[in-house]
Amino acid sequence: MFTHTSRGMTVSGEGTADVMLTCMRCLDEYCQHVHFIIEEELHPEPGFAQRRGADGFEALGEVCIRPDHTLDLGEIMRQHIVLHLPVKPLCRTDCPGLKELHPDV
Ligand SMILES: [Zn+2]
């Protein structure tokens, strides 16, 4: 959803993505389901955008509104997906780890 504001434009919405991650214990790849919510305020200046975060506004250098007023949403979505990825990815919470470490299994 796009909303025009006096200062620029607000982009909001939510989505899900499936991201292939590597489990930090067994090093197997697994599919992490990520749900993310986007709320960005964009300004018409080229290459400038701000994010409403816990620390106030944070400048995002990578988002740009093109001269023909189309917007590169791919970069915004990529940043939000990355933000919601687990810090320590595990294929499952009780992952036993590398099989080599458990020869009796
Ligand atoms: Zn694992």
CA distance 8 to 5: 5
Distance 92 CA to ligand 1 centre (A): 6
Distance 78 CA to ligand 1 centre (A): 24
The one-letter code for the residue type at 90 is L
Q: How far is CA 66 from CA 9, 45, 47, 85, in A?
A: 14, 10, 9, 28
Residue at token pair 């989505």: 15
Distance 96 CA to ligand 1 centre (A): 7
> Nearest CA to 84 among 18, 10, 9?
18
The one-letter code for the residue type at 55 is D
**Reported pTM:** 0.53
One pLDDT digit (tens) per residue for the chain, 105 residues: 566 666 677 888 888 889 999 999 999 999 999 988 888 877 665 544 555 554 444 445 555 556 666 666 777 788 888 888 888 999 999 999 886 655 555
Distance 29 CA to ligand 1 centre (A): 8
